[in-house]
């Protein structure tokens, strides 16, 4: 929280086009055909070589920040699977000033398609200015450049924002690096597991606990503003849906229901939550408006109805039901009408999550003693499995809908967070200090 | 190799039983052991009496919440015991094995708890004495990773909240 407040209070982002920018309109036309470009649909068959030079810094502190910023950018781009940052040892030209265009020949020789240079300078008020420029080496022109004024301890977020700029300029898609992950940190023996809410940056940095070890928590999810989290907790004894305000650190039980409430998610504008209520052994889907606290029941079946997730336009909800005899995916209008089954493959389907792009639904599929993460179109067509293991569960989308994070549990082992591209490639472990499950990816931070 | 591990685990489990008393019930799949009637047996009306003489858990098939004949037998003994000790209040917890996803298992656990609760109430236990909760797959009784452990972990566990003889 303090981090966010500090950031909001101190960060001023200046979208300053540099004086020597040859094509100031380039930012609005990120997919010019003559420019360096990575096709995301093709995945990481040939990651694009890119050189990220340590950012220049005058004093000792600024110099260290410059190195750290470049390191975070390289790690982000590398983890995306779309880029191959070139080791700085291979660099020929030594960049000494941002104002001077690079010697493109020196970067062509090492096959660097793009070049990132930057600079960190102290400001009179104690803040620092971080600026960067992205060059297209073979076109020999500047692609974009930004500068940011911020507090020195906020350098990591600027590094993520610069990474997002690079990703966006070269792929034509929004980035996802300036984001956070909320998840469940797990410890202790399997029969007496301790589960606490934890939040961290998308790359695993800056982790901290949101809840204590005295009550079990499950299934956290971000609000669209990234300032609220809804989750389930046993804090009050019976399992209840909670709201956690990251600005105030306050948490509250959502609604007053006689039975268990669980499986919460925000609606796309953050004005309400959709969740499940247990009515004497019968799970039904409800919504609650956060302002009026008015509730609406959407399902009415003796079967299990749970795990609701809104389409990004808010018009539909995908959910999990066993009304047909086994757990399958169903879609309904946001008012509960028009309920229809969409999953017809072999196996048991659960944990549906609508993509932020609206074009796909991610799910967990169980069959043959294995658990898989897959995607299908909202009409149920085009099913594809991305990963499979003893237990893969709980997909969550990057805000650009290109990467899915989930948790994987080996047989008898603790869970860990993993991510995989929509292409099914680039499977990566997300570093966490403890066992970790139930990840939820935030939207891009404001 | 796996058989060896299971055998070792079984030995370890037996050893744990021998060195009782354990505060938590030991994993005993299937119907509970016949009541042990010895002069040192549990005091009638106590937590131990309920757990050992009556049986505090009933078990379910995979993704099932219907009560087997064995489960009904245990619940009938529970109902008789609860009628005998009318001050006792209980919390029935529904549990699932790990071979399902988290939210679905919370719903399934709620069904199992409700199935046990409804049967107890049908046998004359006042509904106001019975609460239910679902722990989904979050509270396995047996930490092992095999069908034997999973069958133990699919259960409805009757916890005495208050009113037992101490």
Residue A304 is predicted with a pLDDT of 98
Mean pLDDT of B41-56: 93
> Is the CA virtual torsion B111, A255, A212, A263 positive or negative?
positive
Lowest mean pLDDT among A4-8, A304-308, B82-86, B126-130: A4-8
Look up the CATH architecture of domain B47-162: 2-Layer Sandwich (3.30)
Local confidence band at A59 (pLDDT 50, 70, 90 cut-offs): confident
Closest B-chain CA to A192: B139
Coil vs helix vs strand at A317: strand
Is the pLDDT at B6 greater than 60, yes or no? no
Task: List CB contacts of B56: < 8 A, sequence separation 6 or more.
Answer: B25, B50, B78, B157, B158, B159
Is the pLDDT at B144 greater than 60, yes or no? yes
Beta strands in A124-216 (DSSP E): 128-136, 141-150, 180-187, 194-201, 208-209
**Mean pLDDT score of chain B:** 84
Closest by Cβ to B133, choosing from A191, A193, A239: A239
Minimal Cα–Cα distance from B95 to chain A, Å? Answer: 12
Residue A16 is predicted with a pLDDT of 31
Residue B37 is predicted with a pLDDT of 54
Is the pLDDT at A128 greater than 80, yes or no? yes
Domains of chain A (ranges, CATH numbers): 5-171 (3.40.50.10070), 180-441 (2.120.10.30)
**Residue B109 CB-density burial (10 A; 0-12 exposed, 13-18 middle, 19+ buried):** buried
Q: Indicate yes or no: CB of A412 within 8 angstroms of CB of B113.
A: no
Is the pLDDT at A50 greater than 80, yes or no? yes
Q: Which of B159, B153, B156, B160 is nearest to B29 (CA)?
A: B153
B 144-163 residues with CB < 8 A to A: 144-145
pTM given for the model: 0.87
Q: Say if strands A316-321 and A328-333 run parallel, antiparallel, or are unpaired.
A: antiparallel
Note every long-range contact of A157-161, with CB atoms under 8 Å and residues 24 or more positions apart, other chains counting.
A157/A7, A157/A11, A157/A445, A158/A69, A158/A130, A159/A68, A159/A69, A159/A70, A159/A72, A159/A73, A159/A76, A160/A72, A160/A76, A160/A201, A160/A202, A160/A203, A161/A13
Residue A60 is predicted with a pLDDT of 85
Q: Which residue has the higher pLDDT, B11 or A182?
A: A182
Widest CA span of chain B, in angstroms? 50
Q: Indicate yes or no: CB of A262 within 8 angstroms of CB of B103.
A: yes
DSSP secondary structure letters along A44-101: TSSPEEEEEPPPEESSHHHHHHHHHHHHHHHHHHHHHSSEEEPPGGG--S----SSSP
Is the pLDDT at B44 greater than 80, yes or no? yes
Local confidence band at A8 (pLDDT 50, 70, 90 cut-offs): very low
Q: pLDDT for B53-109, tens place per residue? A: 999 999 999 999 999 999 999 999 999 999 999 999 999 999 999 999 999 999 999
Measured between alpha carbons, how far is residue B143 from residues A3, A39, A57, A189, A400 in Å? 39, 46, 54, 8, 39
B138 touches chain A (CB under 8 A): yes
B126 touches chain A (CB under 8 A): no
B 14-53 residues with CB < 8 A to A: none
Structure token digits, residue A93? 């030209």
Q: Which residues of B touch A263 (CB under 8 A)?
A: 103, 106
**Mean pLDDT score of chain A:** 91
B110 touches chain A (CB under 8 A): yes
Here the ipTM equals 0.89
DSSP A42: G
| β-sheet bridge partners, residue B100 | none
Closest A-chain CA to B139: A191
Q: Say if strands A128-136 and A114-122 run parallel, antiparallel, or are unpaired.
A: antiparallel
Is the pLDDT at A47 greater than 90, yes or no? yes
Mean pLDDT of A251-275: 96
With contact defined as beta carbons under 8 Å apart, do A39 and A126 qualify? no
Residue B43 is predicted with a pLDDT of 92
Minimal Cα–Cα distance from A104 to chain B, Å? Answer: 53
Closest by Cβ to B110, choosing from A281, A327, A351: A281
């Amino acid at each position: 929280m303090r981090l966010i407040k500090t950031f909001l209070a101190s960060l001023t982002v200046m979208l300053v086009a540099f004086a020597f920018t040859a094509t100031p309109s380039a930012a609005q036309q990120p997919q010019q055909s003559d420019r360096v470009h990575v096709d995301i649909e093709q995945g990481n068959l040939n990651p694009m070589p890119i050189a990220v030079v340590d950012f220049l810094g005058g004093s000792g502190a600024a110099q260290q920040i410059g190195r750290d910023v470049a390191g975070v950018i390289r790690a982000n781009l590398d983890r995306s699977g779309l880029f191959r940052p070139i080791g700085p040892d291979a660099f020929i030209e030594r960049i000494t000033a941002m104002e001077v265009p690079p010697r493109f020949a020196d970067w062509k020789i090492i096959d660097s398609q793009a070049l990132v240079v930057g600079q960190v300078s102290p400001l009179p008020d104690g803040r620092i200015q971080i600026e960067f420029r992205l060059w297209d080496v073979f076109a020999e022109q500047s692609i974009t450049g930004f500068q940011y004024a911020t507090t020195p301890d906020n350098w990591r977020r600027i590094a993520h924002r610069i990474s997002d700029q690079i990703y966006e300029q070269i792929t034509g898609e929004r980035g996802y690096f300036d984001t956070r992950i909320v998840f469940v940190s797990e410890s202790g023996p399997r029969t007496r597991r301790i589960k606490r809410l934890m939040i961290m940056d998308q790359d695993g940095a800056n982790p901290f606990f949101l809840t204590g070890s005295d009550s079990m928590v499950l299934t956290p999810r971000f609000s669209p503003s990234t300032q609220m989290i809804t989750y389930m907790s046993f804090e009050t004894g019976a399992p209840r849906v909670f709201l956690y305000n990251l600005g105030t650190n306050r948490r509250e039980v959502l609604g007053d229901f006689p039975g268990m409430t669980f499986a919460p998610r925000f609606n796309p504008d953050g004005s309400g939550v959709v969740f499940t209520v247990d009515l004497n052994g019968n799970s039904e889907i409800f919504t609650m408006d956060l302002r009026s606290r008015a509730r609406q029941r959407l399902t009415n079946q003796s079967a299990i109805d749970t795990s609701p997730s809104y389409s990004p336009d808010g018009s539909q909800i995908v959910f999990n039901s066993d009304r047909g005899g086994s757990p399958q995916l169903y879609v309904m209008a946001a008012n509960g009408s028009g309920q229809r089954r969409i999953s017809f493959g072999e196996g048991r389907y659960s944990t549906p999550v609508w993509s932020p792009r609206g074009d796909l639904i991610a799910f967990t599929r169980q069959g043959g003693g294995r658990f898989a993460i897959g995607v299908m179109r909202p009409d149920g067509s085009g099913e594809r499995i991305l990963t499979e293991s003893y237990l893969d569960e709980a997909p969550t989308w990057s805000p650009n809908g290109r990467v899915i994070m989930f948790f994987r549990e080996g047989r008898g082992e603790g869970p860990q967070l993993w991510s995989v591209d929509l292409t099914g490639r680039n499977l990566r472990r997300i570093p966490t200090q403890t066992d970790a499950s139930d990840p939820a990816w935030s939207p891009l931070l404001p | 190799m796996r058989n060896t591990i299971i055998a070792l685990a079984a030995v370890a489990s037996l050893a744990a039983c021998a060195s009782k008393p354990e505060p938590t019930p030991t994993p005993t799949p299937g119907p509970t052991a016949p009541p042990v009637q010895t002069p040192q047996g549990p005091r009638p009306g106590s937590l131990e009496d309920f757990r050992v003489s009556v049986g505090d858990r009933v078990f379910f098939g995979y993704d099932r919440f219907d009560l087997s004949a064995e489960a009904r037998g245990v619940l009938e003994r529970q109902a008789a015991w609860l009628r005998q000790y009318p001050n006792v209040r209980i919390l029935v917890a529904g549990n699932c094995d790990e071979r399902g996803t988290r939210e679905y298992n919370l719903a399934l656990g709620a069904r199992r708890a409700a199935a046990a609760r409804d049967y107890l109430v049908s046998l004359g236990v006042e509904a106001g004495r019975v609460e239910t909760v679902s722990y989904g797959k979050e509270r396995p009784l047996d930490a092992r990773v095999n069908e034997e452990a999973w069958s133990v972990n699919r259960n409805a566990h009757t916890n005495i909240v208050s009113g037992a003889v101490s």
